[in-house]
């Protein structure tokens, strides 16, 4: 029987540095000689379909997947294979499937680091991120700077009202805002 793994969750608005924090932890782990599995949702193809890429172009190879069930089918998530599984943009994965995948890995003794938006541009929490926050052993809630006034930003502002809830984009579509300058879109 393995010691239970630990779950760290990095959450906040767009442009807060969630992926940068995930990459910092990943590089430190790899530098220490541990093996990691790095995952991202296939829908996030903004910069590179086969890499986690930050808005300032830092990157690391990743496996793009439609759902985490496919990962389970193709990889044995055990401590002798992976010390830690890193999941970027966790909000884009199915909540129940993600909870099952992470919980099963934790029971096997594998650590997880998940990064994602805590809420959408309307201020509604993403269910998957919320479930990961509830399960987390460590939470790093980070903020950005408001593009209007420079104060602490905890919201993501959609610049144009278009598309559905999930509308993958970058600085051309979204910007961080404080409560005062944010409006639901």
Catalytic residue numbers read 89
- How many residues does the structure list for the chain? 185
- Picking from 122, 119, 121, the residue whose alpha carbon sits closest to that of residue 133 is 119
Distance CA 153, CA 148 (A): 10
Starting at the earlier edge strand, list the strands of the sheet with 84-87: 63-65, 36-41, 84-87, 111-117, 7-12, 138-141
- Name the residue with tokens 């509308």: 167
Angle made by CA atoms 72, 73, 75, in degrees to the nearest 5: 65
């Amino acid at each position: 029987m393995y010691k239970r793994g630990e779950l760290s969750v990095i959450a906040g608005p767009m442009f807060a540095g969630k992926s940068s924090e995930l990459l910092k932890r990943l590089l430190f782990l790899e530098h220490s000689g541990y093996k990691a599995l790095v995952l991202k949702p296939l829908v996030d193809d903004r910069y590179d379909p086969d890499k986690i890429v930050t808005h300032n172009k830092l990157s690391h190879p990743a496996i793009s997947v439609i759902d985490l069930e496919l990962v389970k089918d193709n990889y044995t998530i055990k401590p002798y294979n992976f010390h830690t599984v890193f999941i970027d943009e966790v909000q884009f994965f199915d909540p129940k499937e993600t909870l099952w995948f992470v919980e099963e890995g934790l029971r096997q003794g594998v650590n997880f680091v998940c990064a994602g938006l805590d809420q959408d541009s309307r201020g509604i929490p993403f269910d998957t991120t919320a479930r990961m926050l509830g399960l987390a052993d460590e939470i790093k809630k980070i903020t950005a700077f408001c593009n209007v006034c420079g104060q602490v930003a905890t919201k993501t502002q959609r610049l144009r009202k278009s598309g559905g809830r999930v509308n993958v984009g970058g600085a051309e579509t979204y910007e961080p805002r404080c409560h005062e300058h944010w409006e639901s879109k």
